């Protein structure tokens, strides 16, 4: 069984983002870019499944401009066997991403498609659910534990939901999206970074996959959120209680 | 315009977050918006929830009920097919759900079946096709216009659309309830996912998402045992307990208490944070609270930059003192 993993190149999670003065977006030039943390978790899970002898190959996929190749190299250095770069404009909305993924799944026929539950740039939390719908595959979103049964061809998935944990049993093939507590992703070692340089990254275009990029959304503006006004530092619990009672009126 | 709201219910009661979705539809989408709430499930609790929906919000003009054992558990696969079916019969201009784990799971899948781009986690509706949503963990706000075909599909953040008290429980005549005809229900992707179990911590405390007071603990609490101090204080104030990712990862409390970019989004009247450093991912989940109090030993902790009242102190001394001196809510 093959596993396909989607990885997204985003502004590094530790960078404090800046909104552009002309409100067209956030500043991305000269800003550190990394693999979306949830995608790292997705890739790690795929690698662990392969290392447990339950999968034969892990394919990393990314879409966007040429720089996505860097993100794919990181994935290959972590241990993915090969990679596919879909050369596409930078602003792809999840519906287009889901259609491209479906086209790739139709070609590669993986038994599992694993994605991060959301990207930390647009915070959409949509793509996994959408590609599962297009494929008519079952979905295990926000997974914090995945157990594969190769014989029965099912995956048992614990999901982080509002009221605790939900456990589902999914027939394979299936789509899984990862939550933070699923695993702790590995770092790429130097020998593996070197080895990754000789691994294959295939390039395709949405046209070659017969996917029409549809844009039914228009970005109007990106702005800074309203700032909270500076607060006060109190010196004791008594003063705090006094402020809460008499200034904030919460008691 | 007409809106379909995907309703969530439990033990015969429609969840407050689903009424927030109704509120968003009725306040913002346009004049004469006719709002239908879709409920699915099986058995008596579904019928109770339907009566609850029909009589609890004046803006609901119709309640649609899909009663089948395929929908006993709110799985995404049958729900998405259901939304697809109901949309084809009803031709709604908008479909809205709350940004709960249910809405996030179901609505994008349904949108894919309808070939439209959903807009998730909306915090402001500026017109029938114009929406504001946070990006980068709330460090920027993005305004988007939907230019696609109907339906326009949204999930809304329920803390941004509170249900006004006078619109709840003030309904003179109940909305009609009708059953969805499921004879053409597509079974394409059904049966491929099966519900096994749901584990939760039973608690007497109010729900984190809608509590008036939230008391949160971070890594500074040091252990699950110490976290009981947070619980005690929350009980005294009649509030809910929250936690940072670090506290959840360290095993102090279960995941459902996590507040932040990927956990719960809360906006209580009073948010008190103990031993919380204030990572941007955590701030994303609580920055809309009315009054924020932070208590931390580290005077440089970023949480103090968003706090209305900060106290630099050892929480193991501050909490017992607060427990002693704060007025009890019970």
DSSP B63-129: EEEEE-GGGSS--HHHHHHHHHHHHHHH--SEEEEESSHHHHHHHHHHHHHTT---EEEE-EEEETT
Distance of CA B115 to the CA centre of its chain: 25
Percent of chain B past pLDDT 70, that is, above it, reads 96
Q: Do A217 and B140 touch (CB under 8 A)?
A: no
Contact A124 B109 (CB under 8 A): no
Q: What is the pLDDT of residue B169?
A: 54
Contact B122, B141 (CB under 8 A): no
Choose from A94, A225, A245 for mutation: most chain B CBs within 10 A: A225
Chain A residues in contact with B255 by the CB 8 A cut-off are 144, 160, 164-165, 181
Interface probe, candidates A116, A129, A175, chain B, greatest B C-beta count within 10 A = A129
CA–CA dist A80, A73 (Å, integer): 9
Is the Cβ–Cβ distance between B215 and B249 less than 8 Å? no
Q: Which of A120, A130, A236 is closest, CB to CB, to B108? A: A130
Chain B residue whose CA is closest to A161: B101
Q: Give CA–CA dist A238/B151, Å, rounded.
A: 55
> In A, which residues are within 8 Å of B291 by CB distance?
244, 248, 250
Q: Choose the closest CB to B262 out of A180, A225, A231.
A: A180
User: Is the model more confident about B168 or about A69?
Assistant: A69
3-state secondary structure of A63: strand
Q: Report all structural domains of chain A as residue ranges with CATH numbers, in order of start.
A: 2-225 (3.40.50.620)
Residue A247 pLDDT: 93
Task: Tell me what the mean pLDDT of segment A223-244 comes to.
Answer: 93
Which residue in A11, A224, A233 is closest to B310 by CB distance? A233
Q: Which residue of B has its CA nearest to A123?
A: B135
Nearest residue on chain A to B131, judged by CA atoms? A220
B274/A250 Cα distance (integer angstroms): 18
pLDDT tens track for B170-190:
556 789 999 999 988 877 667
Mean per-residue pLDDT of chain B: 93
- Residue A208, token pair as written in the block: 């070659």
Of A137, A156, A159, the CB nearest to B189: A137
DSSP code per residue over B233-290: HHHHHT-EEEE-HHHHHTTSS-GGGBBSTTSB----SEEEEES----HHHHTTTTT-S
pLDDT at B204 over 90: no
Do A244 and B117 lie within an 8 Å CB cutoff? no
* A116 interaction partners in chain B (CB closer than 8 Å): none
Q: Name the residue in chain A with its Cα closest to that of B323.
A: A237
Cβ of B262 and A179 within 8 Å? yes
Task: From B242, B249, B250, select the one nearest B289 (Cα to Cα).
Answer: B242
Distance from the Cα of A185 to chain B's closest Cα (Å) equals 14
pLDDT, one tens digit per residue, over B23-41 is 999 987 777 789 999 999 9
> Over 60: is that where the pLDDT of A16 sits?
yes
When CB atoms are compared, the residue of A130, A156, A240 closest to B111 is A130
In this prediction, residue B61 has a pLDDT band, given cuts at 50, 70 and 90, of very high
User: Would you call A30 an interface residue with chain B, using a CB distance cutoff of 8 Å?
Assistant: no
pLDDT > 90 fraction of chain B, expressed in percent and rounded: 82
Can you say how many angstroms the Cα of residue B179 is from the centroid of all Cα atoms in its chain? 26
Angle between helices A94-108 and A127-135 (to 10 degrees): 50
Closest of B110, B92, B13 to residue B52, by C-alpha: B13
Residue in B closest to A217 by C-alpha: B146
Chain segment A45-58, per-residue pLDDT in tens: 999 999 999 999 99
Residue B202 pLDDT more than 80? Answer: no
The residues in A 141-200 lying below 8 A from B, measured between CB atoms, are: 141-142, 144, 156, 159-171, 174, 179-181
Answer for the pair A90, A60: CB distance below 8 angstroms, yes or no: no
**Tens of pLDDT, residues B137-183:** 999 999 999 999 999 999 999 999 998 765 555 556 789 999 999 98
Give the mean pLDDT of A131-146: 97
Instruction: Give the pLDDT score at A227.
Output: 87
- The percent of residues above 70 in pLDDT, for chain A, comes to 100
Phi first, then psi, for residue A5 (nearest 5°) are -125, 130
Quickly tell me which residue has 């340089």 as its tokens.
Answer: A197
Using a CB-CB cut-off of 8 Å, the residues of chain A touching B134 are 123, 225
> Which residue of A lies nearest to B119 if distances are taken between CA atoms?
A124
Q: Any bridge partners for residue B130, and if so which? A: B127, B145
CB contact under 8 A, A141 and B326: no
Mean residue pLDDT of chain A comes to 96
Closest CB to A121 among B136, B291, B293: B136
pLDDT (tens digit per residue) in B255-303: 899 999 888 999 999 999 999 999 999 999 999 999 999 999 999 999 9
Distance CA A99, CA A101 (A): 5
Q: To the nearest whole angstrom, how far is the Cα of A68 from the nearest Cα of chain B?
A: 19
Contacts of A212 in chain B (CB under 8 A): none
Cross-chain Cβ contact A216/B137 below 8 Å = no
**Alpha-carbon distance B308 to B185, whole Å?**
53
Closest CA to B189 of A108, A178, A171: A171
Q: What SS3 state is found at B61?
A: strand
Chain A with chain B: Cβ pairs closer than 8 A: 254
Partner-chain contact A217 B325, CB within 8 Å: no
Which residue out of A18, A122, A123, A226 would a mutagenesis test of the B interface target, given it has the greatest number of B Cβ atoms within 10 Å? A123
- Measured at the alpha carbon of residue A208, what is the angle toward residues A203 and A213, in degrees to the nearest 5? 100
What per-residue confidence (pLDDT) applies to B165?
A: 62
């Amino acid at each position: 069984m093959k596993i396909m993993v989607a990885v997204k190149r985003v502004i590094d999670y530790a960078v404090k983002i800046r909104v552009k003065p002309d409100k067209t977006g956030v500043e991305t030039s000269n800003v550190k870019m990394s693999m979306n943390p949830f995608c790292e978790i997705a890739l790690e899970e795929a690698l662990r499944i392969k290392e447990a002898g339950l999968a034969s190959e892990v394919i990393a996929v990314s879409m966007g401009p040429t720089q996505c190749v860097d993100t794919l190299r990181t994935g290959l250095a972590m241990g993915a066997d090969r990679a596919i770069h879909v050369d596409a404009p930078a602003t792809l909305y999840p519906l287009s991403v889901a259609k491209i993924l479906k086209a790739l799944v139709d070609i590669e026929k993986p038994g599992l498609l694993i994605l991060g539950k959301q990207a930390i740039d647009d915070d959409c939390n949509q793509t996994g659910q959408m590609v599962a719908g297009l494929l008519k595959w079952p979905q295990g979103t926000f997974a914090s534990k995945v157990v594969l049964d190769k014989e029965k061809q099912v995956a048992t998935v614990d999901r982080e939901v509002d009221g605790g944990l939900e456990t589902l049993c999914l027939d394979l093939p299936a789509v899984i999206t990862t939550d933070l507590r699923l695993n702790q992703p590995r770092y790429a070692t130097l020998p593996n970074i070197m080895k990754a340089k000789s691994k294959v990254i295939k390039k395709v275009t949405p046209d070659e996959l017969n996917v029409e990029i549809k844009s039914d959304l228009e970005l109007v503006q990106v702005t800074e959120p309203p700032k909270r006004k500076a607060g006060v530092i109190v010196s004791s619990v008594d003063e705090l209680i006094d402020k809460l009672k008499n200034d904030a009126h919460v008691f | 315009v007409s809106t379909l709201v995907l309703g969530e219910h439990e033990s015969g009661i429609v969840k407050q977050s689903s009424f927030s979705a109704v509120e968003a539809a009725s306040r913002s989408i346009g004049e004469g918006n006719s709002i239908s709430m879709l409920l699915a499930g099986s058995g008596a609790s579904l019928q109770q929830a339907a009566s609850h929906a029909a009589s609890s919000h004046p803006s609901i003009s119709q309640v649609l009920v899909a009663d089948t054992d395929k929908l006993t558990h709110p799985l995404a696969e049958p729900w998405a097919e259901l939304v697809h079916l109901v949309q084809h019969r009803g031709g709604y201009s908008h479909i809205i759900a709350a940004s709960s784990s249910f809405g996030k799971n179901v609505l994008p899948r349904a949108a894919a079946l309808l070939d439209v781009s959903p807009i998730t986690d909306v915090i402001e509706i500026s017109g029938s096709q114009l929406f504001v949503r946070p990006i980068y963990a709330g460090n920027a706000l993005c305004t988007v216009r939907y230019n696609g075909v109907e339906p326009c599909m949204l999930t809304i953040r329920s803390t941004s659309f509170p249900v006004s008290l006078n619109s709840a429980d003030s309904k003179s005549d109940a909305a009609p309830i009708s059953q969805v005809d499921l004879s053409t229900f597509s079974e394409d992707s059904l049966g491929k996912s099966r519900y096994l179990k749901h584990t939760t911590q039973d608690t007497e405390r109010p729900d984190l998402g809608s509590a008036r007071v939230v008391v949160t603990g971070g890594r500074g609490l040091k252990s699950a045992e110490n976290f009981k101090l947070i619980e005690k204080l929350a009980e005294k104030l009649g509030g809910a307990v929250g936690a940072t990712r670090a506290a959840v990862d360290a095993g102090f409390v279960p995941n459902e208490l996590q507040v932040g970019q990927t956990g719960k989004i809360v906006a209580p009247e009073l948010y008190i944070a103990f031993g919380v450093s204030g990572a941007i991912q955590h701030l994303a989940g609580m920055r809309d609270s009315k009054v924020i109090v932070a208590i931390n030993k580290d005077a440089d902790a970023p949480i103090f930059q968003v706090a209305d009242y900060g106290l630099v102190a050892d929480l193991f001394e501050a909490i017992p003192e607060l427990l002693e001196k704060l007025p009890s809510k019970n």
